[in-house]
Amino acid sequence: MQISASNLRRKEYIQFRDDIYQVLSAEFYHPGKGRTVMRTKLRSITTGKAVDQVFSSNDSIESADVQSVPAQFLYNQHDMLVFMDEINYEQHEVPVVLAEDIAGLLKEGQSMYVLLHEGKPIGVIPPKKVVLKVIEADAAVKGDTATNAKKSVKVETGASILVPLFIKTGDTIVINPETGEYTGREN
């Protein structure tokens, strides 16, 4: 299906130069003189490399046919994330480079969606929130709470997250996987 370059949005998949690309960012740019263009950053699904591409705002681009299937995260194997399809129990291997922004937040047994293009896994749609236990945190020093200070903690998956100073080892925190940011504590 053809779409206008002015309608490109982050996280969409397009067919461009005989490859499938994920749109990492898209923004309008209007120079002082000339036509409005759409500046994009695209990531190739086959190579994992990001490229900058400028489209005229009225260019027509082929949208990639992508379907999502419910899957459960099984494990991380070297440079692949392994998922099990919850419908037919097939395993899908997604390269870490295609899901690097959320790879450190995935916990075994978590349910999410795997994106497929012509039966080949090309990405992951994470859950809206991820609940993880803090396994390493420095103690807060009294008097540090006057500002909106943050500290880095280590969670059960091994990732480091910036959190408020009152979070301590053993707390269970909620993280937004889209941004990788702390959103609250889980009771």
* pLDDT at position 187: 76
Please tell me the predicted confidence (pLDDT) of residue 147.
67
Task: Please give the pLDDT value at position 35.
Answer: 83
Specify the pLDDT at position 143. Answer: 60
Domains identified in the chain and CATH numbers: 2-63 (2.30.30.30), 67-125 (2.40.50.140), 130-185 (2.40.50.140)
Residue carrying structure tokens 């396994």: 135
Give the residues of the chain that fall short of pLDDT 50. Answer: none
* pLDDT for res 11: 87
Could you give the CA distance from residue 38 to residue 44 in angstroms, rounded to a whole number?
A: 18
pLDDT given for residue 36 in this prediction: 85
Tell me, what's the pLDDT at 31?
A: 79
> What's the whole-model pTM score?
0.80
